[in-house]
Amino acid sequence: MRLLIKLFNILTDPDTKFDLFAAYPRFKLLIYNQRLHFIWRGFLLFILLTLILVGIYGPQDPEYNCILYLCWGLWWPAVLFSLLFVGRVWCGVCPFPIPGRFLQSWHISLGMTVPKLLIKYSTPIAVIFFMIIVWVEESTGMKDNPKATAYLILIIFSGALFCSLIFTKQAWCQYFCPLGKIMGIGSSISWLEFRPNHKKCRQCTTFTCRDGVDNKTGCPVSLGAIRVTNNLECHVCGRCMQLCPHDSPQLNIRFPLNEVIIRKGKFITCTLMIPFLIGSHFARFLDHDVLSIMDHIEKSCMHDWVCQMGLYAIPLALGFAVVYMIISLGDLVFGVYDDELLGSFSPMVPVFLPLAFAGEIVSRMNYTIANSPDFLPTIGRQFGWETLTHLSFTVPVWFYPIYGITIMFVAELAGLYILEKFVEVDFGGLIAEWRYRIIQISFFLLFAIYLLIMSTGWDISFLNILFIFQDSPLS
């Protein structure tokens, strides 16, 4: 009840925060207890290795291998969804860095610091890595290929291991992990934030949260609670809580849009990620539901995946270019690109961020929902459990628009709220009314286009205006 009242207070007064650790000490133990983290990570590492083995050596028929749904239908959408509520808590228990951390604790590592040049380009490297994953995933049918899915997990796993052998701490997580980059974007609009209590930090002389003490190593991503000012990099692993002599770290419930408003979307890993996400959604929705791009590409390429990737790059690049242009035009109309404290920025990036992330969640959920009826039967077929093979069900067609429209509508409101705060508070008096209205109308139009394209997958003819472009008429 107290939590609900606090949530209501936060919604009515977005500047208030609620310290969960102070209110629920038992909850604090969940993050503080490193043994618990260790058990979770060990368990997840076991699952991960099992998935890799089942993906590579198990049946390659998608109807006989449950790894596909576990990865693409459950794990990844669940992680994306969780970011909105608990930030990067997944990273606190993620098994990818564990083997490397073990090797480092046995001094099997060169222990170098990451060169400045690599740090400088680490964000574009990670973002390009993420783009390649989406590109390969969509153009080669990876989601139907257990071996390819297992190799993708193995590549990320190897990246984390390789970096730990060369560099100190979790350099992979800090600089190069493609999943970490999109998680940083998602968690910047999260309800939770892990932060230090600056009053307590003022009396600190040791900074053990960052550097560690005696034989206890400090923050795995070289932050330490003292340097956490946003949700982009902190893994909420709780390590610094054990190292802090003043009990400074706290976990606050906050108004989720404040971070992008205050930071004007700066540091959200890379401004290229937002147009890429939205552009790739357009390509994804149109591909599967209207133009059947992949079917045509597969036929033309005779299932040669290099050719498929080459041809699929066209809609992907077009989607990116169109959204990039819309964002640039929006910035031009807005007319203010500089902030006293933060320097130059793109005002449309934070405005578009909730929509981009919502589109990603809906796109992933579509796969989850559409393939859910066959999950248990697939396990049944794979392991010879006859009873499970009959446990299928039908997802009603109205379910897709319900969550699709709801999620996108909330994101649209969030974008409009950010825009309003920029116009009326942060740059009050600097933006002419007509500029504000043009951006608002354009933002509504983009929302309408999003829904229009999305609706083509709903199989409900009166909602699906684009059906005239489809190869086969709706049933």
> Using CB under 6 A as the criterion, which residues of the chain lie in contact with ligand SF4 when the complex forms?
91, 94, 96-97, 160, 172-173, 177, 179-180, 194, 196, 200-201, 204, 206-209, 219-221, 223-226, 228, 234-240, 244, 246, 248-249
Nearer to ligand SF4, 164 or 346 (CB): 164
Cα–Cα distance, 311 to 79 (Å, whole number): 30
Other beta carbons less than 10 A from residue 35's beta carbon: 7
Nearer to ligand SF4, 251 or 463 (CB): 251
Query: Measured between alpha carbons, how far is 455 from 448 in angstroms, rounded to an integer?
Result: 10
Rounded CA-CA distance 164/111 in Å is 8
Of the pair 71, 179, the CB lying nearest ligand SF4 is at 179
- Rounded to a whole number of angstroms, the CA Rg of the chain reads 23
Distance CA 234, CA 116 (A): 21
Closest separation in Å from C-beta 208 to ligand SF4: 5
Nearer to ligand SF4, 39 or 395 (CB): 39
Alpha-carbon distance 67 to 375, whole Å?
A: 10
* Least distance from ligand SF4 to the Cβ atom of residue 201, Å: 3
Handedness of CA 213, 218, 222, 226 (dihedral sign): negative
How far is Cα 402 from Cα 411, in angstroms, rounded to an integer?
Answer: 14
Question: How many angstroms from the chain centroid is the CA of residue 387?
Answer: 36
Shortest reach from residue 292's CB to ligand SF4, in Å = 33
Map residue 341 onto helix, strand or coil: coil
- Separation of alpha carbons 79 and 87, rounded Å: 9
Closest contact distance (angstroms) between CB of 158 and ligand SF4 is: 11
Please, which residue, 206 or 406, has the CB nearer to ligand SF4? 206
- CB of residue 89 to ligand SF4, shortest distance in Å: 10
- Beta carbon nearer to ligand SF4, 238 or 265: 238
